[in-house]
Amino acid sequence: MNRLRALAAAPFVLALAAHLLLLVLWYDRLPDPLATHFSAGAGGKADGFTSLAGYAAVSSGLLVALGAAWTLLVRRGALWGTWATAGFAGGLLDLLLRDNLDAADPAEVTAPLATLTVAAGIAAMAALAGRALTRLVPVDPAAQDGPDGPSRVRRLELGAHEVAGWSRDTGSRGAAALSSAFLLAGAAAPVPAVLFTPWPYALIALVGLAVGLPGLALSRVRVAVDRRGLTVTPALFPRPRIRIPLDEITSATVQDVDALAEFGGWGYRTRPHRSALLLRSGEALSVRRANGFEFLVTVPDAETAAALLDALAARAREGAGPGGRGAPEVPGTPGTPGASDVPGASGADGVRI
């Protein structure tokens, strides 16, 4: 852990050192105040200014704050993100100094949009360096639990003709609030785009709707285990829906997932041979498929879901009982996912047999 934190702090130390060095070397060539804010609608012309001393204090404080946060929260799988953040922030702050260099009047300073492209390129190269340095950090054995490790759960015992179903709602208030904010911004942006200028409000509208709508749809979902397999359905919309049939499941287990470290964040995430719907870190239902891929979803009471799903999948593989795919319908099972698959179930969360 000490090595990991040292590697996480390193890019911010380098970025801060480079930034302070440029401030010292260019001090006599920089105007006071500096142009620090630019209008996208006026060709990147300066419309906001900060004293040289104030800029030095704020920019240095920003790098220190970002470095402290990443050093405290970093995980092995997210080390590349630490370096990318330091590269982007440090690069952008230094490029702003370059734009102000030798300016007689700070009001005439411009910052083209290409500056962001250059900063993004620096971030990409830094991310590659961080990714390469990840191999210097030992892997936590606790993070390597697989279907045969400590995450294995005891299979639920079912009779040959017993029918069972389990369902549980899970969600993230933070994701719902953030997605709603994106949606509101996207819905409101067309007004100034029509009244004033399309840029950048058209982009805000596009990003707000593209991020907010699917984010809100997946901010609360219902996870169900029944004779069809595993089904994950948004609580607010009928789509997108994730369904894994029983005959494609080889095992179901419980894993403790760190969303940021293992997948780089929350929401629907993909990695080589893995995909996940992560609304938080912690207990997750892990499903291994016959094609070698793994799907995870964070949900309360994942152990019960895994035990039932493992039992139903095993019975489907054996071709016995109504749990297999393509098996005859059982009287009283109307086909609705969750506990309502069981005769007499009220639809409450939990397991019914």
pLDDT digits (tens, 9 = 90+) for 149-171: 445 567 777 777 788 899 999 98
Residue 1, pLDDT score: 58
Q: Between the CA of residue 102 and those of 28, 35, 108, what are the distances in Å?
A: 9, 12, 11
**What is the residue type of 114?**
A
Query: Taking the CB of residue 68, how many other CB atoms lie within 10 A of it?
Result: 12
* Phi-psi category of residue 348: left, alpha or beta, with phi > 0 → left and psi -120 to 50 → alpha: beta
Taking only the tens place, the pLDDT of each residue in 85-139 is 999 999 999 999 998 988 888 888 888 777 888 888 999 999 999 988 988 887 6
Q: What is the DSSP letter of 335?
A: S
Closest listed residue to residue 323, CA positions, set 340, 338, 309: 309
Q: What pLDDT is recorded for position 43?
A: 67
Q: Which residue has the higher pLDDT, 3 or 295?
A: 295
List the structure tokens of 18: 């480079």
Q: What pLDDT is attached to residue 284? A: 93
Using N-to-C axis directions, what is the helix angle for 52-73 and 2-25, rounded to 10°? 170
Burial of 28 (0-12, 13-18, 19+ CB in 10 A): exposed
Residue 40 CB partners (closer than 8 Å, separation 6+): 113, 199, 200
- Give pLDDT, residue 152: 56
Provide the 10 A C-beta neighbour count for residue 35: 24
Q: What percent of the chain has pLDDT over 90?
A: 35
Backbone region of residue 335 per phi and psi (left: phi > 0; alpha: psi in -120 to 50; beta: other values): left
8 Å CB contact between 294 and 313: no
**Whole-model pTM?**
0.52
